[in-house]
Amino acid sequence: MARDVLRLLTRDGMTADSALSRLNRTLLELGDTGRFCTGILGAVRPHDGGLLVCFSNAGHPPPVLVKASGGATFVGTTGTLLGVVDEVELVNEEVLLAPGDALVFYTDGVTERRGSTGMYGEDQLLRVLAGSAGAGASELAGALEESVRRHGAGSLAARDDLAVLVVRAL
């Protein structure tokens, strides 16, 4: 339902933060059904030889900017979870990707994956992505997914969602 509402609102030209705010009101109008969600809504367009990624984050883990030259850092502001409070705090963010740079979006099933040494965590996420700097989108996503799966191998607690989306400028 959330995807359908957001698709409709963005087709009508709403900005990401406005569309997420409207989704929040829609979820609250459903009443006491316990419906809530996190999410990131954004758009990608060519800009100055690279890509401009415009997005708003509603309580979702922050994306990671992986520079082609090396290094990985969290970017953006994590806004309010949707469907819980009347007024949400959301910010429209912009990240310019130069050729070879990537922006990695992921679910909390990545950082919260449990293994024999504890949770996968943000530090390991940044290490793996930085170590794959300059790789293609599929390779970046694959390296992260494989690392997370190895970390949680054999753990019954490793059943949370695991999704990775990589936007990479060519």
At residue 33, the pLDDT reads 74
13-46, pLDDT tens digit by residue? 899 999 999 999 999 998 877 689 999 999 999 9
Distances (CA, A) of 75 to 46, 65, 66, 95: 19, 6, 10, 8
117-153, pLDDT tens digit by residue? 899 999 999 999 999 999 999 999 999 999 999 998 8
Answer for the pair 43, 14: CB distance below 8 angstroms, yes or no: no
* CA-atom Rg of the chain in angstroms: 17
More confident residue, 88 or 158: 88
Count CA atoms within 13 Å of residue 58 on its CB side. Answer: 25
Average of per-residue pLDDT across 47-51: 95
106 pLDDT higher than 70? yes
70 pLDDT higher than 90? yes
Average of per-residue pLDDT across 77-88: 96
Answer for the pair 42, 91: CB distance below 8 angstroms, yes or no: no
Tell me which residue has tokens 């900017």: 65
